[in-house]
């Protein structure tokens, strides 16, 4: 398949495909002549994956490149892949290591230890959580373990579900893609449902009942 067909079948403009090739997100096609190259279904799948991560996951291309690198790294197991995917997602901020931050960070550590969760000390989600809590407190909102617990409970239930859904007997290529897609694309699903649920609950409490 030539680039025009790849473009037609994926819905991605040729210029953008060329850009992804330049950026190393998409492996080059097999050159058959100086101005000719063949692409196959693997390219098509990869392209669809990239677009999914861009459009739904809102990931910057640099993060996608890291994730794809992990997908292509045969030496990485599922757990390692998941770590890489999460690391690529993680917040890009490195906050000031002041006292307020340190204190909250310690509380996060204590909270996770209390839950018995096994997470690495450098997991970006730790920073993400710490930053959110610091900010909430600075705004005068309550943000202690009591507020966190229901969220942690929900998170644990869903994580068990997701990890349980992984079919380890599938071929590696399908497996890793499933893990990445699941990690990145189920987040918007959860967020969307949370917002819808919030609107519903708000309607129940604050809006006049339907006529």
Partner DNA sequence: AATATTAGAGAGTGTAGCTATCCAGTCAAG
Partner DNA sequence: CTTGACTGGATAGCTACACTCTCTAATATT
Provide the binding-site residues for DNA, judged by CB under 7 A.
Answer: 2-5, 13-16, 18-19, 21-22, 28-29, 31-37, 39, 54, 59-62
Cα four-point dihedral sign 62, 66, 124, 186? positive
| Site for a second copy contains 112 (CB under 8 A) | yes
Q: Of a second copy, DNA, none, which one sits near residue 19, judging by CB under 5 to 8 A according to partner kind?
A: DNA
Contact 39, 29 (CB under 8 A): yes
| Site for a second copy contains 79 (CB under 8 A) | yes
Which tokens in the block code for residue 31?
């050159």
Q: Of a second copy, DNA, none, which one sits near residue 117, judging by CB under 5 to 8 A according to partner kind?
A: a second copy
- Distance, in Å, from the CA atom of 200 to the CA atom of 209, rounded to the nearest integer, reads 12
- Distance, in Å, from the CA atom of 88 to the CA atom of 178, rounded to the nearest integer, reads 16
| Site for a second copy contains 192 (CB under 8 A) | yes
Q: Which is nearer to DNA, 20 or 105 (CB)?
A: 20
DSSP H or E run through 30:
strand 30-33
Kindly state the smallest distance separating residue 149's Cβ from DNA, in Å.
33
Give 44: exposed, middle or buried? Use CB within 10 Å, 0-12, 13-18, 19+.
middle
Contact 107, 202 (CB under 8 A): no
- Tell which residue, 190, 184, 206, 168, has the closest CA to residue 49: 184
| Site for a second copy contains 178 (CB under 8 A) | yes
Q: Which is nearer to a second copy, 37 or 52 (CB)?
A: 52
When binding is defined by CB under 8 A, the residue of 33, 121, 150, 169 that contacts a second copy is 150
- Distance, in Å, from the CA atom of 178 to the CA atom of 175, rounded to the nearest integer, reads 5
- Tell which residue, 64, 55, 120, 71, has the closest CA to residue 89: 64
Contact 76, 189 (CB under 8 A): no
Q: Which is nearer to a second copy, 14 or 159 (CB)?
A: 159
Kindly state the smallest distance separating residue 64's Cβ from a second copy, in Å.
14
When binding is defined by CB under 8 A, the residue of 30, 72, 103, 162 that contacts a second copy is 162
When binding is defined by CB under 8 A, the residue of 33, 34, 99, 118 that contacts a second copy is 118
| Site for a second copy contains 109 (CB under 8 A) | no
Kindly state the smallest distance separating residue 89's Cβ from DNA, in Å.
13
Kindly state the smallest distance separating residue 17's Cβ from DNA, in Å.
8
């Amino acid at each position: 398949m030539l680039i025009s067909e790849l473009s037609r079948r994926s819905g991605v403009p040729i210029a953008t495909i060329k850009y992804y090739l330049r950026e190393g997100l998409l492996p080059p096609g097999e050159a058959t002549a100086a101005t000719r190259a063949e692409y196959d279904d693997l390219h098509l799948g990869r392209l669809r994956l990239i677009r999914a991560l861009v459009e739904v996951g809102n990931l910057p291309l640099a993060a996608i490149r890291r994730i794809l690198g992990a997908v292509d790294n045969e030496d990485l197991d599922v757990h390692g892949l998941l770590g890489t995917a999460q690391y690529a997602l993680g917040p890009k901020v490195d906050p000031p290591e002041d006292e307020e931050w340190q204190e909250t960070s310690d509380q996060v550590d204590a909270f996770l230890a209390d839950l018995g969760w096994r997470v690495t000390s450098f997991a970006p989600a730790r920073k993400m959580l710490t930053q959110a809590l610091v900010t909430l407190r600075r705004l005068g909102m309550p943000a202690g373990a009591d507020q966190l617990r229901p969220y942690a409970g929900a998170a644990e239930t869903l994580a068990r579900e997701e990890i349980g859904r992984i079919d380890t007997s599938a071929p590696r290529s399908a497996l890793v893609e499933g893990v990445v897609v699941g990690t990145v694309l189920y987040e918007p699903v959860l967020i969307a449902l949370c917002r819808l649920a919030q609107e519903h609950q708000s309607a129940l409490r604050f809006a006049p009942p339907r006529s």
